[in-house]
Chains A and B, each alone.
Chain A
């Protein structure tokens, strides 16, 4: 459960200030699948970093599962990220020369799980994304789509309350992108996982059940998507 109220974020760039967020308020319930949409530079990644506790807002209130995050210190934020958030990035961000299994185990390592339990859970997560047979492959031995699946397994492995994906299909071809969207939809449908997709791509956004549109750091619309695209449907421009 996410409750955000009047979030602002101001970056200092030398003498000038960049207002990346200008008072955004919204609520996202558990089990929703939401797309945050907007043109490049509209503040999507900034909003994602605040939702994901990578950063705190300059002003405004943000509660995650009832915890007030805006005043937390670095180590508390790190702990919340490890426990409640799973990130998926555009560039996968896997560790090089490190097997898929070990990449997926990473969040559990920092959370202090024992070696055995780590491996078991990581294996299960890889199976969930359909890579049970690729556990010992290094990132450079996997295709882009497979790498993103490893990244999704890594995001799922600590059973987070929220899966946060920033342009998850941005580095993939459209066919692979659709497969990744299919995976998100099935994780949402079968596991009841809260999924927040950040994208500038309308087609990707229309896979979600709710679309929040952002422009210049403000929410310009927040609508239920009555007919989400079922992943696998060919791309049509609206």
Chain B
């Protein structure tokens, strides 16, 4: 007997109970849709984050203070910073690493209220050097970036991230306008191009010369034990090969300047882009496994649902099975018929699930939440998973049907 005939029988049986068939495959639909949407969104997210991190330069090292301590519950929870990086660390590294490092810059960042006329905005203000632009590959959409002259003269000038400029000035050109940061007046000299909403995006940030910041804005909060602190030090290494050596040198020098004994843990972190990517990948992997497990359970439950309904269907159709056997159907032919029916059901669920999943992924892309990437792999995987579920959960009901005794089946009421 041909496959197409079995398929016809299967479709007729499923059509006879439309509502029941639809409800039965719901579990598979949800499971498969979740898998497809998840993989597409995960793929897209990973791709875009990887892209962002790599656009930051593969030869970049970021040094940041490394030790934090849980606050006492009475103090409002959260974390308290217990180790610091100092401006003097930056100076030390700069002179020591002049040979192997192309750029090295300090960064100090703090949140302030920024005002222009009636507009008021709470945003991050970052003190930087001229070389910051090069290291982070910023592009100007208008005006110029902070330069060494600004730092030397402690000029009251600011460069706006794209979102900040939009929010405060709208269609107005911000260049030459005066804004107030925590009451201190700065002249806007430039606006950055947007980098999109991403990890460490400069769009929501106002940049000022770091020297101006220390002397006229940051005040006491930027010092610890009388020494100027920094949030991070960015190091752009000459060539990627030398990353490990430079990293080791930095560790050695900072250990000494922070007076750490060899047995002490580091009180700072040195992260390369590769490290960041690795951390990120392990996080995405954990998430994917977790969500994948949920989807898997949904598929399992869906499969059991299908098996249940097929068992009911075999019982309901006992007499039909008897008749088919009476007119010459063999055990194998009945087995095949019911197996194809179950597989048709689960594949139908799979296909609807794939369409739904692709729809969800597409929705995420269109709304700009996450640009998802739909891969043929994920669709094929979902398809074969649905197929496997149908085979696995279909075999038992099909065996039940096939092994019915023809006379007993015909006498069944």
* A residues neighboring B (CB under 8 Å): 45, 49, 52, 54-55, 74-75, 78-79, 81-83, 87, 89, 93, 95-98, 106-107, 109-112, 154, 158
In the assembled complex, which residues on chain A have CB atoms less than 8 Å from the CB atom of B319?
A: 93
Which residues from A are CB-within-8-Å of B328?
78-79, 81-83, 107, 110-111, 158
A81 near B12 with CB under 8 A, answer no
* In the complex, per-residue mask of B303-346: 1 if CB is within 8 Å of any chain A CB, else 0: 00000000000000001101111111111110000000000000
Q: Interface residues of B, CB < 8 Å — how many? A: 23
Residues in chain B within 8 A of chain A (CB atoms) = 1, 5, 12, 16, 319-320, 322-333, 405-407, 410-411
* A98 CB contacts on chain B under 8 angstroms: 12
Closest chain B residue to A76, Cβ basis? B330
Q: Say yes or no: A52-B329 contact (C-beta < 8 A), given A89-B410, A95-B320.
A: no
Among residues of A, the one whose C-beta sits closest to the C-beta of B329 is A110
B12 touches A78 (CB 8 A): no
Instruction: Specify which chain B residues have a CB less than 8 angstroms from the CB of A78 in the assembled complex.
Output: 325, 328-331
- How far apart are A174's CB and chain B's nearest CB, in angstroms? 25
> Measured between alpha carbons, how far is A116 from B242 in the docked complex, in Å?
78
Determine the chain B residues whose CB is within 8 A of the CB of A97 once the complex forms: 12, 16
- 8 new A-B contacts at CB < 8 Å, known A55-B407, A87-B326, A97-B16: A52-B326, A75-B331, A78-B328, A96-B16, A106-B324, A107-B327, A107-B328, A154-B327
Contact, CB under 8 Å: A110 / B327: yes
A74: chain B residues within 8 A (beta carbon): 330-331
Measured CB to CB, the closest approach of chain A to B332, in angstroms, equals 8
Chain A residues near B410 (CB, 8 Å)? 54, 89, 93
- Residue among B319, B320, B325 having the largest count of chain A Cβ atoms under 10 Å: B325
Best-buried of A78, A97, A158 by chain B (most CB within 10 Å): A78
Measured between beta carbons, the chain A residues less than 8 angstroms from B332 are: 75
User: Of all chain A residues, which has the CB nearest B325?
Assistant: A78
Cβ–Cβ contact A110 & B407, under 8 A: no
A-B pairs, 7 with minimum CB distance: A82-B328, A107-B327, A110-B328, A78-B330, A93-B323, A49-B407, A54-B407
What are 25 A-B contacts defined by CB distance under 8 Å?
A: A49-B407, A54-B406, A55-B405, A55-B407, A74-B331, A75-B331, A78-B329, A79-B328, A81-B325, A82-B327, A87-B326, A87-B327, A93-B319, A95-B320, A96-B16, A97-B12, A97-B16, A107-B327, A107-B328, A109-B1, A110-B327, A110-B328, A110-B329, A110-B333, A154-B327
Q: How far is the CB of B321 from chain A (nearest CB, A)?
A: 11
Contact A75 B330 (CB under 8 A): yes
Q: How far is the CA of A74 from the CA of B333 in the complex (A)?
A: 12
Once A74-B331, A82-B328, A87-B326 are accepted as A-B contacts, the answer to whether A109 and B5 lie under 8 Å apart by CB is yes
Q: A45 contacts which chain B residues (CB < 8 A)?
A: 411
